[in-house]
Structure 1
Amino acid sequence: MATFQVPTRATVSEANQAIFDNLESGLGFVPNLYATYAHSKNALGNYLALSNAKTSLKAKEREAVNLAVSQVNECEYCLAAHTALGKMNGFTDEQILELRAGRASFDAKLDALVAFSRAVTINRGKPTADVTDAFLAAGFTQENLVDTIVLIGDKTISNYLHGVTQVPVDFPAAPALEEVYA
């Protein structure tokens, strides 16, 4: 398999250098996966615009979706990153593991959200009617449904980019779900 190097500020376009500077000042570093987008002159800016776009979903809901989708897609990078972000958004270690498994016994609404997100991801955009109905019955709107699908697409892009490039994970590793639920 081809080896993908993580681009440095010196090796990327001027536009991407400015984005690197913004990431450095905001996060304190440029995550390797974000840097990998900078192999393209346009992809990093386009991805960040999508990822940071306004949504009807709350921050905790977004992290729940990110964790469920990244687990289905087996993305060790995104699982590590979103485990850290999940903790920053108030989830416990146990709740993060549940969300990754596609359930949330601690919150009925989040339970419907992660079940829907997991079903959409596994079934390539074709969840069963009962999963979609449960999502809407839990209090989510059609706007939330559309925003959830956009978020699933956003996360899938990163999951796939890491799956192909296998750049080093620069977040603390997420525990393997199988080990925890074994």
Structure 2
Amino acid sequence: MTITVPTRDSVSPANQAMFDSLKSQLGFVPNLYASLAHSENALGSYLALQSAKSSITGKAREVVNLVVSQVNSCAYCLAAHTAIGGMVGFDSKQIMEIRHGRASFDPKLDALAKMTKDITVNRGHGDQKLVEAFLAAGWTVENLVDVIVTIGDKTVTNLLHGVTRIPVDFPAAPELASAA
């Protein structure tokens, strides 16, 4: 079965308005967002989650997005967040290291990457020593909660792409070498 990417004309008026907003903000409607519009409510709900206030922003949010997308093998999200990672200031070598679940170039981001990978791999049953290291690196319990919400956010789109397999409309992320 092939699930197609809906067009603006094929979605509800409420979703059409969100398509218009996305196009004005991003210059296009990413296929993954468009695929959420198969539901009357999913696109609006997801955009609300993604744009909600959080103590995890900028580079830290992209660390979470890249790590979770790598663990979940989401080609779409890896492509999108490799591009966004570059926009927030990571170079290509740093992005590849983050995808491995490390950030040796920044101790605080390294603690974030390691904990995020562990939480994602272990589906929330992470190593408490990594949580302690995260907090010792200068993060707060508020940050911890927001990291978990961000992991959930990214997991939603990883699952959506894994099931729908809609076309990736970002440049493909480079393959990750298994040992680095």
TM-score by length of 2: 0.98
The one-character-per-residue Cα deviations of 1:93-119 (angstroms, maximum 9, x if unpaired) are: 000001000000100000000111111
Q: Does 1:26 align with 2:22?
A: no
Residue pairs, 1:37-116, within 5 angstroms: 37-116=36-115
Q: Deviations over 1:37-71 (max 9, x none)?
A: 00000000000000111001131100010000000
> How far does the alpha carbon of each residue in 1:72-105 deviate from its partner, in whole angstroms, 9 at most, with x for none?
0000000000000000000000000010000001
| In structure 2, distance between residues paired with 1:53 and 1:59 | 14
Which residue of the partner structure matches residue 119 of structure 1? 118
Residue 136 (structure 1) aligns with: 135
Give, as a single letter, the amino acid of the residue that structure 2 aligns with 1:86: G
**In structure 1, distance between residues paired with 2:145 and 2:111:** 15
* Count of residue pairs the alignment pairs up: 180
Q: TM-score if structure 1 supplies the norm length?
A: 0.97
Structure 2 Cα separation of the partners of residues 47 and 99 of structure 1 = 25
Q: Which runs of 5+ in 2 are unaligned?
A: none
Gaps of 5+ in 1: none
How big is the alpha-carbon RMSD for the aligned residues of Structure 1 and Structure 2? Answer: 0.9
* Percent identity of equivalent pairs: 64
